Amino acid sequence: MINIEENKDLKPLNTFGVKANARYFCTVTTRNELNELMRHPVYQNNRCLILGSGSNILFTTHYNGLVIQNALKGISIKQETDTSVDIEVMAGENWHNLVLYCVQQNWGGIENLSLIPGTVGAAPIQNIGAYGVEVKEVIQSVTGVDLQTGFTTTWLNHECNFGYRDSIFKNELKEKIFISSVTLTLSKKTHRINTSYGAINEILKQQHISEPTIQQISDAVSEIRKSKLPDPTLIGNAGSFFKNPTIAISHYQQLQKLFPGIPGYYSANQEVKVPAAWLIEQCGWKGKRIGDAGVHTQQALVLVNYANASGTEIFSLALDIISSVKEKFNIELLHEVNIR
Ligand code: EPU
């Protein structure tokens, strides 16, 4: 039997820890509960918002509709050979617990994505990525329920239109689908070890590890993240607030003349990706605090809530950062956090 709550406090349900209420709120733990909810008048008469663990969202106002928390649980093996395993993971599973579980089974592919906050169902929406790996590399398919028709559909990897922090679920299908499970293909032997990201190599070198196991990679990534990124259980944040912008090579070359130290990574399509954190730091924002809203002291890409900042205060800080980066570099920063 589903339980629809009214005027639900969302502060404990978003990692920014900002105050917001949902007019209605319901946690869905099984497919049957979702079916039941979809027949309910509160569902039929209200707009709805699907929430995982609230780690990529900033509430700037109360939500005058139904918030549905996706808490579907379970991991099952769909297919297995000597060399690989396909697992179907229900969307409400915690992402990092899944990583730990896979590493323990010696299933490789997501160890670089250790310690990313959030649920499994949220992972494909923004194609989570860190330390040289994006989740699209191991996703076989994503299954979800159409919030209007109730039909279940499975999108194969190539149908998900994955890009940098992007997918079909953030675009054409935005807020139309309740993701129910994600199927991943992981390696059982000859893992594709990825230590291309400088910081991983440095840690492994310090530890005199030349042929790391996936466990060692996972540990190294966790160590890096802990040293750079604020722990959302201690200080409100949603990871990177902005995406790293891509600019034309000509624009980058102009900027190099003015700012010789500007970092940039050339991509295949004649563009250069510039770290937003660098741009923000150059504008003097790193470590700045306005009331309880601030820019993290260790990583300028992360906005934080020191205690009681409101969503509007954090968003207003973000807008000020966007304008100063635009003014100094003529680069338009885009937020990757979902603003509501
Ligand atoms: N940098 C600065 N100042 C800072 C931090 C970084 O100038 O305060 C510059 C340095 O030049 C550094 C470069 O930015 O070399 C890149 O920094 P870092 O390796 O920390 O990564 P990032 O580009 O800031 C991205 C992801 C992170 C992910 C890391 C590691 C995005 C939006 N962010 O950050 O993802 O953990 O790479 O792969 O792509 C997240 O999405 O929430 C997230 C934390």
Residue 219 lies in a domain: no
300 lines ligand 1 (CB under 6 A): yes
Contacts of 331 (CB under 8 A, 6+ apart): 245, 247, 251, 274, 279, 325
Q: Is residue 240 annotated as a catalytic residue, yes or no?
A: yes
Query: Cα separation of 245 and 268, whole Å?
Result: 15
Residue 200 lies in a domain: no
Q: Which atom of ligand 1 is nearest to the CA of 197?
A: 38
Residue closest to 157 by CA, chosen among 177, 139, 179, 135: 139
Residue 50 lies in a domain: yes
SS3 of 231, please? coil
Please tell me whether residues 87 and 183 are part of one structural domain.
Answer: yes
Q: Which atom of ligand 1 is nearest to the CA of 243?
A: 32
Q: pLDDT tens digit string along 54-70?
A: 999 999 999 999 999 99
pLDDT the model gives residue 127: 98
Residue 283 lies in a domain: yes
Could you tell me the CATH number of the domain that includes residue 105?
Answer: 3.30.465.10
Q: Is residue 165 annotated as a catalytic residue, yes or no?
A: yes
* Domain range for 44: 5-70
Please tell me whether residues 79 and 183 are part of one structural domain.
Answer: yes
Residue 93 lies in a domain: yes
Catalytic residue (choose from 165, 180, 218, 310)? 165
Q: Which atom of ligand 1 is nearest to the CA of 130?
A: 38
How many A from CA of 115 to the centre of ligand 1? 15
Q: Is residue 336 annotated as a catalytic residue, yes or no?
A: yes
Please tell me whether residues 173 and 152 are part of one structural domain.
Answer: yes
Give, in order, the Cα–Cα distances in Å from 248 to each of 191, 274, 334, 336.
35, 11, 16, 20
Residue 23 lies in a domain: yes
Above 90 in pLDDT, residue 331?
A: yes
Could you tell me the CATH number of the domain that includes residue 310?
Answer: 3.90.78.10
Pocket perturbation via mutation, ligand 1, pick of 110, 240, 333 by most ligand atoms within 8 A of CB: 240
Q: pLDDT tens digit string along 254-282?
A: 999 999 999 999 987 889 999 999 999 99
Residue 320 lies in a domain: yes
Residue 250 lies in a domain: yes
Above 90 in pLDDT, residue 100?
A: yes
Q: How far apart are the first and last CA of the chain?
A: 29
Above 90 in pLDDT, residue 33?
A: yes
Please tell me whether residues 79 and 60 are part of one structural domain.
Answer: no
